Amino acid sequence: QSALTQPRSVSGSPGQSVTISCTGTSNDVGKYNYVSWYQQHPGKAPKLMINDVNERPSGVPDRFSGSKSGNTASLTISGLQAEDEADYYCSSYAGTYSHVFGTGTKVTVL
Amino acid sequence: QVQVVQSGAEVKKPGASVKVSCKASGYSFPSYYIHWVRQAPGQGPEWMGMIDPRVGSTSYAQRFQARVTMTGDTSTSTVYMELSSLRSEDTAMYYCARACVKGSSTSAVDYWGQGTLVTVSS
């Protein structure tokens, strides 16, 4: 199972919007609506930000949103804030009781 | 409140095995899958496998199939991950994490342990 493909980095100024893509295949992202997104600050465990493509867990700000089209899922951060600077990873159910993570994207707030 | 607490850091020699524990509390332990994820220094997370604590059934990522064993003990609400034939490339932070949907093998994970650093060095 190959890792899902994400851009290495994206950046934006405070208040702007950034979008991170996550490209898989027709066997994972394209087949299942079980895409999730995690935020990870240095030295910390990942934190769930989006599950099931576009569902926000309780406590996650509504400036985080998810979507999917074909084999590519996306995470959009609207109204970028300084505390959003972190690494972001997508993940997908990949069938036959398996999961796969993305390669990761570093978000920089300029 | 839900808590997931892992055992402490380990240093192992190449060829040895390591067993990491993950104790859960604050919810019905048998009802949620527990996943294991590792993260090598400077790298992204890598899914290793998961266990259904209710029945003890497991599913492993293909690349770990021959070397990993996940077990659970419902009497202590603890799951274990043992990785054998360690090599230097296995040096990583190992996390356990609870699935966020009851009884679901497809859902994301929400509650993570604090991580266990496993260092493999001669």
pLDDT in tens, B36-80: 999 999 999 999 999 999 999 999 999 999 999 999 999 999 999
Q: How far apart (Å, rounded) are the C-alpha atoms in residues B62 and A45?
A: 24
Question: For residues B114 and B5, is the Cβ–Cβ distance under 8 A?
Answer: yes
CA gap A22, A3 in Å, rounded: 10
Paired tokens of A31 = 């087949």
Is A33 in the B-facing interface, judged by CB distances under 8 Å?
no
Q: What is the mean pLDDT of chain B?
A: 97
* Spatial CB neighbours of B120, under 8 Å, sequence gap ≥ 6: B12, B13, B14, B16, B86, B87, B88, B89, B90, B91
Residues A25-47 have a mean pLDDT of 97
Output the pLDDT for position A1. 78
The mean of the pLDDT values for chain A is 97
Please judge whether B44 and A3 are an interchain contact, meaning their C-beta atoms are less than 8 angstroms apart: yes
Torsion angle defined by CA atoms of residues A29, B116, B56 and A33, in that order, rounded to the nearest 10 degrees: -10
Within 8 A of A66 by CB-CB distance, chain B residues are none
The answer for A 55-94 residues in CB contact with B (under 8 A) is 57, 87, 89, 91, 93
**Per-residue model confidence as pLDDT tens digits over A56-65:** 999 999 999 9
Which pairing describes strands B45-52 and A72-77: parallel, antiparallel, or unpaired? unpaired
CB contact under 8 A, B62 and A1: yes
